[in-house]
Structures are given as C-alpha cells and as structure tokens.
Amino acid sequence: MARRWTNTLTHADVTPEAAFWNRRQIIAGMAGLGLASLAGGAEAQVSEEVLEPNSWEDVTSYCNFYEFGTGKGDPAAYAGRMTTSPWSVKIDGLVDRPGEYDFQQILGEMTVEERIYRFRCVEAWSMVVPWNGFELADLLNLAGVQEGAKYVAFETLYRPEEMPGTAYRVLDWPYREGLRLDEAMHPLTLMATGIFGKPLPNQNGAPLRLVVPWKYGFKSIKSVVRITLTDQEPPTSWNTANAGEYGFYSNVNPEVDHPRWSQATERRIGGGLFARREPTLMFNGYEAEVASLYDGMDLAKYY
C-alpha cells in the first residue's frame, strides 16, 4: 500500500459530466464549420450555437473506436452489438500464472477495492475525469510478473461478427498497444471499469480499458482481452501504421509536436470556446511523479 499514488485533485477539479460528454460534439461542430484545426492548436472563432446542450444519445455518439467504423457516430451506432458479459482477459507470456481471467474474478481477487481516480487528461482539449478502476499493477501482480519481463502488450477484442469496422483494413486487427514494464507498474496506470460512477459504455471501451494519464490518448486501449508480458518492445497499432507520426511512448510533451499539430498549448473543457489557451504541462502535469522513468532518454527521439 505504501507505493500507491496520493490524489491531490478534488471534486472541484472534476470536469462537469455534461461538459465531458459534450467535448466530442464541440469538436464535431468545429469540424462541420471548417474549424477542426482548433482542436489541434490553431486559433479560431466559433458560433455559440456549437455549445447547445446535448442529450445522452447525442454526446455518446461521437467516439473513436475503429472496430465499429471510422465515422464518429459509428461506435455508438454499432457498439451495442458487442457482447461484454461474460468477459475474460487472457494473461500470458512471462508470468507465473498464465490463463484466462474472468472479469468478475479479476475484480474479486484485487487486493484493494475499486476506487475513484480523478486524473487530468488531455485529448486535444484538457479535462479532469473521475475514472472508476484499479491499478494495472494489481492485475499484473495477480498473474505474477517473471524476472526478465520488460514490456506489457495489450490487445483489444477482435470479433468481426460484432465489429463491422474490422471488415476494412484501416489498421492491422486486432488493435494493439504497449507499455514498458515500469510504466505499467506505476501507480498512476489504471485499468478503468467505469466513468462518472457508471459502467463504461460499449463505445468507450467496456468493460475494461487502459488509462495512462501522462501519455497521449493512443495508450487508452479499449475493451482489453489480452495482456502479454514480454522481453521485447511490442508492436503497437498506430506506430505500425505510421511510425513517423506515432512513436511507441506517446508521452505528452509540449516540446515535441506531432507532425500535424502542436502539443504546446491546450484549452480547458468547461471554459467555453473562447477560453484562454494555456501551456501544456510536461507529462500532462505528472512530471514530478513520472519524469524519473525517462532519465537520460532523448524524448524527441523516443516520442
């Protein structure tokens, strides 16, 4: 218990639930007005009409989950067909107790109960989100990490009969992600099971997804079905598809821009479209907690 991270954020820091769900609709509205670059860092002005309140159906219909299609409304339209119960996670590779772990078994055998974590997250806009979940380290310790393991690889569910987007080779299915072992074992690294006190919607990664708050959104792998401990850096989907744009580490670093947008500044959700841009913090504000993981590394080279 001594290693666990102490949360300094309070309820007052949390992005209002309506604003959280509304963020994608705002970006959708900007895209429709030809202002999509605003989300990437460019300045622009947008009509207040973009900020009209949305229903639950509206705000959960703008998601990225390519297994259900590349359109922003595709996940909400088609993810309902994904079966999430029963659910199991295969844990294999360099572990003492490999096997299929039932989702409810995982929760039942955690050394601590699920807790609410308030993490500051960046996804073009910044926000503070209360995730329900448990530390990934607890799950890895349940399986028993063997000496020699250096990386953790993840895979998303691949079920073509329920996932119409997989009929298109947008990516090399199944979707894959990876972390270095010390990143995975860090107490900030979370396996999320819910959000705002509610179970994860299918289109948002039900029933189990990864949350790594100091990394860019590409480490937020959804609907995890396999975790592999390995001594080799695992391939990741976006890095495999375009290594020039997406590195393995995907750290939030205001000094290293994506080729098509800047990470240098951000806007805070809830402040309106005309909110002042603020400097993006190194490691998304978690520098004190995680910078030591990268001592001596060239973070422009290992981006």
Q: Has residue 226 got a pLDDT over 80?
A: yes
Which of 235, 231, 83 lies closest to 173 in space, CA to CA? 235
Distance CA 274, CA 216 (A): 24
Handedness of CA 262, 293, 130, 197 (dihedral sign): positive
pLDDT digits (tens, 9 = 90+) for 126-170: 556 677 889 999 999 999 999 999 999 999 999 999 999 999 999
Superfamily holding 11-294: Oxidoreductase, molybdopterin-binding domain (3.90.420.10)
Across the range 44-57, mean pLDDT stands at 32
Domain-by-domain residue ranges, the chain?
Answer: 11-294
Q: Is 158 exposed, middle or buried (0-12, 13-18, 19+ CB in 10 A)?
A: middle
Taking CA atoms, 285 is separated from 44, 45, 119, 122, 279, in Å, by 26, 27, 10, 10, 11
Q: Has residue 279 got a pLDDT over 60?
A: yes
- pTM of the model as a whole: 0.80
